[in-house]
Amino acid sequence: MAVEEGSPAPDFTLTSDAGDAVTLSSLKGTPVVLYFYPKDDTPGCTAQACGIRDAWTEFEAAGAVVLGVSPDGEASHAKFKEKYGLPFALLADTDHEVAEEYGVWGEKSYAGKTYMGVNRSTFVIGPDGNVAKAFYDVKPAEHADQVLEALGSG
């Protein structure tokens, strides 16, 4: 079931690319951009991450914490982050528990095959801990601008 705008963002603790535990509720009081993506270092996911990186000063100006989440592990995240100079944390949801809680784990199709995976989605969480904006089936090229607009910075 998808998380609805206006509802409390489901809390979680995941391990970051740096090996740190990141708990969503500890960020209350700060806007959070929580974005789910399918896989490190693939064309769409790279475009999406680099779009945020390229607009990083605007995300900082909005006071937002950006967290990227995928089923890849910490080592994969660390390589991806280093390769592209990403200035934000990538979180490992290897059992896709958090993706399921946010309603973004489901059936996907690629090259005529169907499989289970993360549907590219982003949640802008207000300082109050509630979901201010939810984006589903995000287009990587438009992602950063859409999120900045939701943060009031676009």
What pLDDT, in 10s, does the model give residues 80-106? 999 999 999 999 999 999 999 999 998
**pLDDT at position 109, please?**
76
- pLDDT score recorded for residue 1: 67
Please identify every residue annotated as catalytic: 45
Q: Is residue 130 part of a domain?
A: yes
* pLDDT tens digits along 6-26: 999 999 999 999 999 999 999
Grade residue 154 by pLDDT with cuts at 50, 70 and 90.
low
User: Domain of 111?
Assistant: 30-151
Q: Shortest CA distance to 109 belongs to which of 38, 34, 35?
A: 38
Split into its structural domains, the chain has a count of 1
Q: Is residue 13 part of a domain?
A: no
pLDDT average, residue stretch 126-154? 90
CATH code of 81's domain: 3.40.30.10
Alpha helix stretches (DSSP H) within the chain: 43-54, 56-61, 74-84, 97-101, 140-151
Handedness of CA 128, 129, 134, 139 (dihedral sign): positive
Contact present, 116 and 105 (Cβ < 8 Å): yes
